[in-house]
Amino acid sequence: MAGADQPSLRVLEHAQQTQPQDVDLSVQNLPDDQARQQLEAGTLDAVLHSTGPGKFTLTGGEEVPAKLRSLLDTSVEQVLTAELLSSAGIDPGQLPADTALSVTLLQGDAERNSMIQAMAFIFSFLFYMAALIFGMPIANSVIEEKQNRVVEILASTIRLRELLAGKIIGNVILALGQLLLFLGVGLLAAWLAPIEIPFLGVVFQVATWFVVFFLAGFLVLAGCWAALGALATRTEDLQQSSGPVVTVLIGILFIGLYAKGTVLVIASYVPIVSSVAMPIRLLTGQVPGSSRCSHCWWRSRSAGWCWCSRRGSTAAR
């Protein structure tokens, strides 16, 4: 990259100081004719020269890289602005910066709210996915055994309640195993991440409670799927009768994603829905009967300390 005059060199030097990591910009001071010759020979990518007060022309060979053009466009604007302010006797450093506005929240902070939204999506999606993947096969297997009359043979050697309970328990174990696998891999990746993730200790604690609530909620939901399979005689009948259950699952997904305030509190006391709503409430630290720190959520009643107090924070209460 070459500059043909002093204004162009100032712009190029500013661009060289602010260039991103994926741009390697080297600057030369060459006369216009010599710069054009090297540009035609392919030894230069582009040439910048001034065409008047506040105007520049960027000349390239076959094309000008988009990243270079964007970088120089920003540098021209900043350099010209700084020169105009200096000519008016204004120090550019006194201008308001992009960080002049800061945001504070009465409850929690932006990082904590972002963490709650992310975990709410994860909890809701995991429950919704497990309920469909491992819930629907319970009803389908019951219908298939009824259609093939296999259940009549099994009924002579085992009680039907034990057969149905075995289907429910087996799918609950599979769903729980998949949940533990996903949570384990995700938490391990977050723990080993090269950057520090805030509130990671809170996520570990609430994820444990989510497993407990998930087990209770999915067990009830698996019983509903088994009942639907026992009531239906054909697979086509199951598609109609499973509509209310699927509607409830979609409602759980939306409650986990968007419910706040009173709606979230009410949902945390509703069976099945509480499997997602209560862990989200635990993340907010607003569950009655527990004294929580507003920063790290955790508090030990017996020891009288919270997690952030052990790190020297005075936010514990």
From CA 15, how far away is CA 78, in angstroms rounded?
A: 10
- Is the pTM of the predicted complex or chain greater than 0.75? no
Note the pLDDT of residue 215: 92
Note the pLDDT of residue 212: 92
Evaluate whether 296 touches 199 at the Cβ level (below 8 Å). Answer: yes
**Mean pLDDT (whole number) for 37-52:** 73
**Mean pLDDT (whole number) for 169-194:** 88
> pLDDT tens digit string along 211-263?
999 999 999 888 888 888 888 777 777 777 788 888 888 888 888 888 888 88
**Mean pLDDT (whole number) for 157-177:** 85
DSSP string, 81-147: HHHHHHHTT--GGGSPPTTS-----SSS-HHHHHHHHHHHHHHHHHHHHHHHHHHHHHHHHHHHHHH
Note the pLDDT of residue 173: 92
Note the pLDDT of residue 310: 41
**Mean pLDDT (whole number) for 91-109:** 58
From CA 287, how far away is CA 199, in angstroms rounded?
A: 18
Note the pLDDT of residue 313: 40
